């Protein structure tokens, strides 16, 4: 935003004088300046004159904010901020007018949202699912058939806010498209607002990604360590991945083994919890390995509460 003096200096002399007078009179007549002078009656005409740029900016930015074009198109000197004025009476001198840049509500909201988003890592899950802010009522009303599941998750969120990070997680089971991932996104968002970190991993695609990390052992270790240590971990669509012994024993098994009794792990699946063991007991490479399926389930089953998500398939609607 150009200052008043910059605007006027760009005009020819005669036009400069005419426009200068018009703009000065416009500023002086503005209700904002009347309120300012009522609040600080010691601000005399001389103080107003030598601080005209500050007054002009205050008025102009207020008008811009009153018809906000959005943060991405904010024309103010400092994006998402407006100029506020105060005055100080200085003995034997003209009143000193202070200007302060104040963040607007949209800028503050964006900062809060960015902070929330920075706390949650997504792996093959649309980040917008985490960044959207929904109230409990919004979530409940989208599908009353899953009201019981929504209330269970909301109870978990409230318990965590009251008592701190839990050691038990949740296992969301249900048919395709009933909103299991959506509900986990809601939970992550609510708890990220409380300062907790989290990650959500779409297992079918993540399993394929891990194969490519064999050539990047540092990246592989960094990723697994992140999933071990984050406050809240969601394995999304567990059971749909193309399972192999390494993924089961050295990735999923290592992560849940590290987290059990320390930090909560959450799962969404089309499998009932009792059926997930069958999935973990068979791989294309080694065939049926019932013992290994039992072993990993011993690190999952005791540390989750089951939430059955009913409702209609919302995909494609």
How many other C-beta atoms are found inside a 10 Å radius of the C-beta of residue 44? 11
**Integer Cα distance of 29 and 195 in angstroms:** 47
pLDDT at 287: 63
Q: Examine the domain organization and report whether 134 and 53 are in the same domain.
A: no
Q: Examine the domain organization and report whether 181 and 285 are in the same domain.
A: yes
Instruction: Decide: 254 and 265 in contact? Cβ < 8 Å.
Output: no
The number of domains in the chain is 2
Domain finish residue from 59, 77, 103: 103
Q: Examine the domain organization and report whether 172 and 246 are in the same domain.
A: yes
The side-by-side arrangement of strands in the sheet containing 169-174 is 120-123, 198-202, 232-236, 265-269, 169-174, 304-309
Q: Examine the domain organization and report whether 144 and 266 are in the same domain.
A: yes
How many other C-beta atoms are found inside a 10 Å radius of the C-beta of residue 289? 17
pLDDT at 204: 96
**Integer Cα distance of 74 and 61 in angstroms:** 10
Q: Examine the domain organization and report whether 163 and 189 are in the same domain.
A: yes
pLDDT at 231: 98
Q: Examine the domain organization and report whether 119 and 241 are in the same domain.
A: yes
Residue 80 falls in which region: left (phi positive, over 0), alpha (psi -120 to 50) or beta? left
Per-residue pLDDT for the chain (317 aa), expressed as one digit of tens each? 555 555 545 545 556 667 777 888 888 899 999 999 999 999 998 898 889 899 999 999 999 999 999 999 999 989 999 999 999 988 778 889 999 999 999 999 999 889 998 999 999 999 888 877 778 888 887 778 889 999 999 999 999 999 999 999 999 999 998 899 999 999 999 999 999 999 999 999 999 999 888 888 899 999 999 999 999 999 999 999 999 899 999 999 999 999 999 999 999 999 999 899 999 998 766 667 788 899 999 999 999 999 999 987 776 55
pLDDT at 104: 94
Q: Examine the domain organization and report whether 140 and 78 are in the same domain.
A: no
Q: Examine the domain organization and report whether 149 and 174 are in the same domain.
A: yes
Q: Examine the domain organization and report whether 33 and 165 are in the same domain.
A: no
Q: Examine the domain organization and report whether 80 and 170 are in the same domain.
A: no
Q: Examine the domain organization and report whether 53 and 166 are in the same domain.
A: no
Domain finish residue from 103, 118, 144: 103
What CATH number corresponds to the domain at position 234?
3.40.50.300
**Cα 164 from chain centroid?**
20
pLDDT at 58: 94
Residue 315, domain member (yes or no):
no
3-state helix, strand, coil in the chain (%, to 5): 55, 15, 30
User: Bridge-partner residues for 306, per DSSP?
Assistant: 171
pLDDT at 10: 55
Domain with 87, as residue range(s), is 4-103
Angle between helices 147-163 and 180-192 (to 10 degrees): 20
């Amino acid at each position: 935003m150009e200052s008043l003096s910059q605007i006027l200096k760009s005009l020819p002399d005669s036009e400069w004088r005419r426009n200068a007078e018009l703009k000065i009179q416009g500023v002086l007549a503005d209700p904002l300046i009347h309120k300012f002078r009522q609040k600080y009656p010691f601000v005399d005409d001389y103080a107003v004159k030598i601080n005209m740029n500050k007054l002009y900016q205050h008025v102009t930015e207020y008008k811009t904010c009153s018809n906000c074009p959005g943060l991405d198109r904010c024309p103010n000197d400092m994006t998402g901020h407006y100029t506020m004025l105060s005055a100080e009476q200085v003995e034997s001198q003209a009143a000193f007018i202070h200007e302060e840049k104040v963040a607007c509500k949209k800028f503050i909201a964006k900062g809060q949202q960015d902070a929330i988003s920075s706390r949650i890592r997504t792996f093959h899950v649309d980040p917008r699912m985490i960044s959207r802010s929904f109230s409990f009522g919004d979530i409940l009303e989208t599908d009353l058939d899953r009201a019981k599941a929504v209330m269970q998750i909301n109870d978990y969120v409230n318990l965590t806010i009251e008592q701190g990070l839990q050691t038990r997680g949740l296992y969301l089971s249900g048919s395709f498209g009933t909103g299991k991932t959506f509900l986990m996104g809601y939970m992550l968002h609510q708890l990220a607002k409380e300062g907790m970190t989290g990650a959500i991993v779409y297992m079918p695609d993540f399993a394929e990604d891990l194969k490519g990390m064999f050539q990047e052992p540092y990246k592989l270790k960094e990723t697994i360590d992140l999933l071990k240590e984050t406050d809240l971990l969601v394995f999304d669509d567990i059971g749909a991945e193309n399972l192999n012994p390494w993924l089961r024993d050295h990735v999923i098994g290592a992560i849940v083994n590290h987290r059990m009794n320390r930090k909560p792990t959450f799962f969404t699946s089309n499998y009932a919890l009792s059926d997930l063991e069958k999935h973990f007991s068979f791989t294309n490479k080694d065939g049926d390995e019932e013992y290994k399926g039992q072993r990993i389930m011993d690190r999952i089953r005791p540390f989750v509460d089951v939430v059955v998500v009913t409702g209609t398939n919302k995909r494609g609607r």
